[in-house]
Structure 1
Amino acid sequence: MPPSLHQKIRAELEARILSGDLEPGARVPTEAELQAEHQVSRSVAQRVLNDLARDGLVVRRKRLGTHVAEGARQINLMRSVDPRLDRAGLPGRMSVVSAGIVPAGRARVAVPGVPPEEAVTELVRVRRDVDGTPIVVEVAALPFRLVPHLLDEELETVSVRGYLADHDVPIARSRMYFDPVLLDGEYAGLLEIEPGPAALRRRRLMWQPDGRIAESAAYYLRPGALEFYLEYTEPGGAS
């Protein structure tokens, strides 16, 4: 399926930001300019800029316009763990390595509380930056009974959290773990580096209100590719 106009315009702007063509603080085209350049409606142009702002790549200010955010390659960890948000703000584009249905006991990630013989949908994807360098390997497993039609989706762009929300699978709790690991041949190969270096692995678990697991995922990060942070603002502090 070809990308929509919204996806195409967003990808072009994201690529300019991540490549440095649009540097931190640089002005981003306005909604009107995007409309004129790409012959799209105001709602499409507005969605593009709002999506970039949501993912921390730009800052939108009334009467001041839209500008590239400082630290556009820095990832707010709260976005990674908050089940209300459908993307973690990771830059780049996905490619699918494998997608299929396997017994939980054979999945590449542990799926707590799911019997080993129960079917899970497993996705292995690689996210690449604008230069095509792989920066993250994502491995996700979800109980098949929750997502029987997930494999029918456009897996290069689908967000697991967004998909669960769209299909009325409620998420009550989300937890993130961080582990230092030595990359084995499989994941090092997908990241196009030699096996053996230390890397950061993020593991995310999401649970339904009844306490059953909704997703188990692991993200293997290319060393030095991304920075993560947590930020707290005092009540009444700067916005």
Structure 2
Amino acid sequence: MSALHRRIGADIEQRIRSGEWQPGARVPTEAELQAQYGCARMTVSKALTDLSARGLILRRRRAGSVVARPPVHSAVLDIPDIAAEIEARGMVYGYERLDYGLRATEPDEAWLGLQVVMVSCLHRADGAPFALERRLIGLAATPEVEAETFEVVSPGGWLLRRAPWTDAEHRIAAVAADRETALRLDLSPGEACLRLERRTWIDGLGVTWAWQTFPGQAYDLVARFSPARPEAR
């Protein structure tokens, strides 16, 4: 069994890496692979499990397996531009505004000032959902945001160009996709996601509070650092 499951896995991997099967493409079902290779279901299941563990495919209950999107890497201490990162990988960036409004801040948002612009949006890579974003932008630090509706430009990209920040805070969490997130990101409810919560300030004024949710296998965050050196005495 071991030799055959490796052969099945290698055949599927070759189709993925050659570009024959693009991200999001359906992988043959276990029954189809059983018939093709004349083997037991356990052999096929082991091959698919190995491919999933290596991040080459996504296995979903009742929906079958699909080719995984290559993960996008981002430095933890950076403020990444999602559009630029997607395009840097040779993929086509897409943007859709989902909701927008101007409102007074809630008590836990008071650090952003008296009013905020609220915008939620969906980022796409080659047409497939890539990240769901919800963001608050404080008018006290960025009064010009009141004239921007974000119908065409993403709020993150707009802020990187127009609102330089001096301080930032990141929180990273693994979360299960709720019903709305699963619907927007084309996932199954409960599927693993990575959520990046970010707050930024400019000279003490709150600029933005953002939540970006990614499918668990589509994005990772990387930190590079050196051990602290003792001070010379």
Query: Is 1:147 aligned with 2:148?
Result: no
**Aligned residue number for residue 96 of structure 1:** 97
**Aligned residue number for residue 117 of structure 2:** 121
Shift of 1:221: 0.6
Percent of residue pairs bearing the same amino acid type: 18
Task: Choose which of 199, 220, 229 in structure 1 pairs with 2:193.
Answer: 199
TM-score between the two structures when normalised by the length of structure 2:
0.54
Tell me: CA distance 1:230–1:112, structure 2 relative to 1, closer, same or farther (3 Å). Answer: farther
- Aligned residues of 2:71 and 2:217 also touching (Cα < 8 A): no
Gap runs ≥5 in structure 1: 1-18, 22-71, 235-239
CA distance in 2, matches of 1:199, 1:87: 16
After superposition, what is the alpha-carbon deviation per residue over 1:173-203, rounded to whole angstroms, capped at 9, x for unaligned?
1121101222222222211223222311001
Gap runs ≥5 in structure 2: 1-17, 21-69, 87-92, 228-233
TM-score between the two structures when normalised by the length of structure 1:
0.53
Task: Say which one has the larger Rg.
Answer: 2
CA distance in 1, matches of 2:221, 2:171: 13
CA distance in 1, matches of 2:217, 2:202: 34
Shift of 1:95: 1.0
Tell me: CA distance 1:90–1:99, structure 2 relative to 1, closer, same or farther (3 Å). Answer: farther
Task: Choose which of 163, 170, 184 in structure 2 pairs with 1:176.
Answer: 170
Query: Is 1:222 aligned with 2:222?
Result: no
How is 1:14-163 mapped onto 2 (pairs within 5 angstroms)?
73-78=71-76, 81-82=77-78, 89-91=84-86, 92-105=93-106, 111=109, 113-114=111-112, 118-130=114-126, 132-145=127-140, 146-150=142-146, 152=148, 154-160=150-156, 162-163=158-159
- Aligned residues of 2:96 and 2:123 also touching (Cα < 8 A): yes
**What is the DSSP-based 3-state SS (H/G/I as helix, E as strand, rest coil) of the residue aligned with 2:109?**
coil
- How many equivalent pairs are there? 156
**What is the DSSP-based 3-state SS (H/G/I as helix, E as strand, rest coil) of the residue aligned with 1:90?**
helix
Shift of 1:74: 2.9
Tell me: CA distance 1:97–1:205, structure 2 relative to 1, closer, same or farther (3 Å). Answer: same
**What letter is aligned with 2:208?**
E
Taking only aligned residues, the RMSD between alpha carbons, in angstroms, comes to 3.5
**Aligned residue number for residue 29 of structure 2:** none
Bigger proportion of residues as strand? 2
CA distance in 1, matches of 2:146, 2:73: 27
Task: Choose which of 180, 183, 186 in structure 2 pairs with 1:186.
Answer: 180
Shift of 1:207: 0.9
